[in-house]
Amino acid sequence: MHSGVWHELAEGLAERFTLHLVDLPGHGQSDWQEGQFELPLLLSELEQKLPDNAVWLGWSLGGLICLAMQQRYPKKVRKLSLMATTPKFVGCETWPCAMAPSVFESFASNLHVDQQQTLQRFLMLQAKGAVQSREIIRELSEQLATQHTPQPEALRQGLALLLQTDMRDALSQATCPLQLILGERDTLIPASMPDYAKKLNPALDVTMIDGVGHAPFIAQPQRCQELIELFIDG
């Protein structure tokens, strides 16, 4: 997804703050070049383009990237707000509060067969479980259509990042204030995850929004704006 998905929340936050919206490589208005989704290169480019001492907000994969940014370039990140994010999306013996690897591997495999159908499945997964699931799918689909279709290799490498990235150390070692906003009906992040996350960093400020899936800022933009502003002002 491109940064246009933030439009309603961004309009509210822009009344008080200067926003820097980022399209990841191969998405939205960001060009694609091979290797751009390698995390060290991605972080280096963000470090050069974005201001120091800023509040960072990241959704899903974007949250993982924000955690990595805080770990590598701590002077860039004054506060960190994570939206529907977990430090590790794929489960293992020491992190059972996550999805099975097969879920993401299936998406990666299907991208080679039918990218458009796989994207639709992905959008449905974002909204699954939410009270307003149809409205959220429609909003995401409309936003996706406003820009060119994401580059297939960008999608594959994004999925690879989700599969491979483990930011538990980054979360446990973070010294800046941390906020985590989750949807109570998120099918990608088990409800037990916040308990595990707070063991890594007891200072983590967690809010669970009822009736919401993996896209809280689309389902309840005003509530998310209130939470983010309280966090920034605190």
CATH class of 3-233: alpha beta
Tens digit of each residue's pLDDT (9 = 90 or more) over 57-116 = 999 999 999 999 999 999 999 999 999 999 999 999 999 999 988 887 887 777 777 777
135 pLDDT band, cuts 50/70/90, is confident
Q: What is the pLDDT of residue 224?
A: 98
- Give the mean pLDDT of the chain: 90
Q: What is the pLDDT of residue 205?
A: 98
Residues 6+ apart with CB under 8 A from 101: 90, 91, 163
Q: Answer with the residue of higher pLDDT: 163 or 109.
A: 163
Q: What is the pLDDT of residue 74?
A: 97
Q: What is the pLDDT of residue 29?
A: 79
Q: Long-range CB contacts (< 8 A, 24+ apart) of 106-111? A: 107/159, 108/156, 108/159, 108/160, 108/163, 111/152, 111/155, 111/156, 111/159
43 pLDDT band, cuts 50/70/90, is very high
pTM for the model = 0.91
195 pLDDT band, cuts 50/70/90, is very high
How many H helices and E strands in the chain? 11, 4
Residues assigned a catalytic role: 60, 186, 214
Residue 190 has pLDDT above 90, yes or no: yes
